[in-house]
Structures are given as C-alpha cells and as structure tokens.
Amino acid sequence: MWKSLGMNIQAHEGLLAALGKAYSDIFLSQQNRPEGMGYLDFVMSEIHGLRIEELLQAKQQGRKVIGTFCLYVPEEIIIAAEAVSVGLCAGADFGTELAEQVLPRNTCALIKSFVGFKLAGVCPYVEACDLVIGETTCDGKTKAYEIFNEYKPTFVLEVPSMKNESDRKLWRFEVGRLADQIEKVTGKKITADSLRAAVETVNAKRKALHRLNQLRASDPAPISGRDSLLINQVQFYDDPVRFTQKVNELCDELEDRVAKKVGVAPAGTPRILVSGCPMAAPNWKLPFIIENSGAVIVGEESCVGERGTRNLVDLQGARTREEMLDRIAQRYWGIDCAIFTPNRERIDHVTEMTGKYKADGVVHYEIQFCTPYAMESHSMRQAMGKEGVPFLRIETDYSMEDAAQLQTRVQAFLELLK
C-alpha cells in the first residue's frame, strides 16, 4: 500500500515508531480514562492503516480525496461532492531539514511540518489526496502553498483579512469558486440536496463536540484535556458519521461520570483554558506538560477545538444551491482567526470560555514565528488582566528541546493559581 502511494517506507517506519512511543507515554499512561477513549486509541493505532485502506477503497469507487489545512475550508462542500475531506495534520517535527531547503528557517513549525511531510514522503493522507485546498490566511501559509503546489496540486482560496461588507462579498464569491473547483475535480454536481445532507452530517459532528465541551465544565473534569484534544484532532481524519456516533457514546459515559462525580483529576485541581494556535496531530507537547504538572485542561480556544466547531450552519429557509452556499459562507465567516483585523470576537470568546469552563487561568499557545497569534497575545493579556484571569504566554515549536524549561514555567504559573 505504501509503495503504491509513492511513500518513503523507511522514513515512514521511523515516524510511526516515534509516534507509537509518544502516544503510549502521553495517552495510555493516564489514570482513570473513560472507556470510550478505547475507540480513539483504536483509530490512532490504525491512522496509518485501516483508515488509509478506507480512503483507497473510496478512490477505487470513484470518489476523490481532498486535503485541507485550515478551518476556513468548508468540508460540507467537499462531502456534498461525494469526496472524502481530510484535514491534513502538520503537527510533528519531521522532514524539517528538507523543508528548510525550500522555506526560510524562521517559518512556523506548522508550515515546515506540512512541507516537510510531503518532501520526506511520510504522510499517506497527503499522498492519497487528489487535490489540496490552501488559503490566504497568514503570509507564511499563503506563500508556502506556491511551493507546495510544485509537489501536489493545490487550489488556493482567498480569505480576506478584514470583515467589512466588501470582504464578506469576496468571501462568498470564494466559497462559490471552491464549489465549482470541487465539482470539476470530482466530476460530481453539488446540488441543494447534497449540500443539505452534508450540512446535516457536519452539524451532527459539531453538536457531538459541543456536548463533549459542555461536559468538561464539570468539576471534577470527566475527561482530560489531552484526550479531548485528541478527539478534536481525530475529527479531521475519521469518517464523520462513525466519529459522531462514537463521540456521542463517549458523552453518554461522561454524563454518567459527571452524575457520579468521577473525574480524571480530583475536584479543585487547577483548571486551564488553552488559547491560541492550532495543535494539529501529533502536537501533544504542551497539553502533556500542563496536565503532568498537576492541572487539567478544560477547554481549547483553537482551530483544533472550539474555534473550529463553535457555530453550526443554519439552513432554515434556504432552498436552492446558492442559498445553501450563502449559509455555509456565513457560518465560516464567523471564525475568529487572528489573521483578521480587528478581531475583538476572539477576545470575547476567550473571556466567555473562561467563565463557562470555570478556568483558573489561560495559557496562550503560540507557535514560534506565528506573527498573528503572537501579536494578538497583547490584547488578550490586557483583556484577561481586566477580568482578573491569570495569563501565561508560551511560545514554542515542535521539538522537545525546551520541554524541561516549559515545565518549570508552567509549574510556576500553576503555583500562582493556588
């Protein structure tokens, strides 16, 4: 299978060995995990196995695989064309040396990772893709897609950086342009019916994740932040219907835990809200450090978290294909990525989340060289100061070199919360 995908088998084996060890240390070592996490463990054990077989079977049946890197790409449109949507990960320090041959060294780790994975030939998802959708969000990604396109066909969606009426119109135009491109690549017509069905599938997935988030507001927390992050990461790869069913089953178990006051850490454990850059799989370093230092993460204000799942598409009253695309565009327009200016909504959301999840402090996570989130930390710190919420800024990359130093900083921060 790997050969047919044109992968570098030796490098891929090296990646899997490193991932298996990290997964066991970070996830399987946890005490008192919900039983429903068994499904996620299974998915992760087969993430470079059965799931890839499923994708290849789908391709044999004439379906296309479309890869994405950003929350602004509406997966509803991909699903409506009977294609498989895969959120490509970019969360590991692998292929970095190769990436640095084509990218400046001072590029964020996420961008280096997706370019590095492709150049090293270690990601079966990228290799299985018929098309990758990029976007003009930050400058680094915008320009990196030009290079990425040399190795994999990449269609770039224009995301404006302001939210004026003219920007909204441009965004709606881009959503239509994406639908046209997906129709061209898949050879399938996107209709009002197929859009409605796709919206229902994706809304159901997001509702299951909302349910999970609400349960995390309980003290003691019924599930760890690491496991919740993992669920949010897996949602980008797994079959959406199966994933939704499994998350709902897990939530049934968590409801029971909440009723019985069973938690992954004792009541009164310091509660942390993580806010900032997305943590794409397998970027688990900071959550592991935070929870290993004696806190529990109760929410993620991130694209691999609540920022990505917050709103649903509202199709009420929409009947035609164009009206449905209007509603889809409207839903995605509400995402409050730091690439926008001004971006007051994100600050309001973090404030709201600290209250909703009873967070004792906010850890602002920035991937080194990510200008939008680093810049926005200034107004975020000010806002948290006004709310009286302790705030810690962490800037790091994907390497483990600073793990001990980060642990010291996190432990000192947690001392403040006592």
Which CB, 263 or 278, lies closer to ligand BJ8?
278
Examine residue 329 and tell whether it contacts ligand BJ8 (CB under 6 A): no
The only residue of 138, 229, 324, 362 in contact with ligand BJ8, by rule CB under 6 A: 138
**Nearer of residues 114 and 357 to ligand BJ8, judged by Cβ:** 114
- Structure-token pair, residue 303: 């694209």
Part in contact with ligand BJ8 (CB under 6 A); list of ranges 35-43, 136-144, 194-202, 245-253 = 136-144
Residue closest to 412 by CA, chosen among 395, 398, 394, 396: 394
Distance set, CA 251 to CA 17, 36, 190, 193 (Å): 31, 8, 33, 30
Tell how strand 271-276 and strand 391-396 pair up.
Answer: unpaired
Residue 411 token pair? 């432990």
- Ranges within 365-384 binding ligand BJ8 (CB under 6 A): 367, 370, 372-373
- Give the DSSP H or E segment for 234: helix 225-234
Nearer Cβ to ligand BJ8 (39/125):
125
Query: What's the min distance (Å) between Cβ of 259 and ligand BJ8?
Result: 35
Query: CB under 6 A: which stretch of 18-26, 149-157, 331-339, 353-361 binds ligand BJ8?
Result: 331-339
Q: How far is the CB of 111 from ligand BJ8 (least distance, A)?
A: 5
At residue 101's C-alpha, the angle toward residues 95 and 102, to 5°, is: 100
Tell me which of 71, 182, 198, 250 binds ligand BJ8, using CB under 6 A. Answer: 71
Residue 269 gets which letter from DSSP?
A: -
Q: Is 126:61 a contact under the CB 8 Å cutoff? A: no
Quick one: 273 or 370, whose CB is closer to ligand BJ8? 370
141, 216, 331, 364: which one binds ligand BJ8 (CB under 6 A)? 141
Q: Count the residues of the shown chain that bind ligand BJ8, applying the rule CB under 6 A.
A: 20
CA distances from 221 to 215, 261, 263, 280, 401 (A): 8, 9, 5, 23, 30
Distance of closest approach, residue 380 Cβ to ligand BJ8, in angstroms: 14
Q: How far is CA 374 from CA 341, 366, 368, in A?
A: 14, 6, 8
What part of residues 109-128 is at the interface with ligand BJ8 (CB under 6 A)?
110-111
**Interaction between residue 133 and ligand BJ8 (CB under 6 A):** no
Residue 70 is a binding residue for ligand BJ8 (CB under 6 A): yes
Dist CA 299 CA 214 (whole Å): 10
- 146, 184, 132, 141: which is closest to 159 by C-alpha? 141
Is residue 282 within the footprint of ligand BJ8 (CB under 6 A)? no
Answer for the pair 80, 197: CB distance below 8 angstroms, yes or no: yes
Q: Is residue 137 within the footprint of ligand BJ8 (CB under 6 A)?
A: yes
Q: Does 335 bind ligand BJ8 (CB under 6 A)?
A: yes
Binding of ligand BJ8 by 215 (CB under 6 A): no
Q: Which is nearer to ligand BJ8, 217 or 370 (CB)?
A: 370
| Strands of the 361-367 sheet, one edge to the other | 296-301, 271-276, 361-367, 391-396
3-class state of residue 259 by DSSP: helix
Candidate list 65, 108, 215, 254; residue touching ligand BJ8; CB under 6 A: 108
- Applying CB under 6 A, among 198, 230, 234, 277 the residue interacting with ligand BJ8 is 277
**Residues within the interface to ligand BJ8 (CB under 6 A):** 70-72, 108, 110-111, 137-138, 140-141, 277-278, 303, 335, 337, 339, 367, 370, 372-373
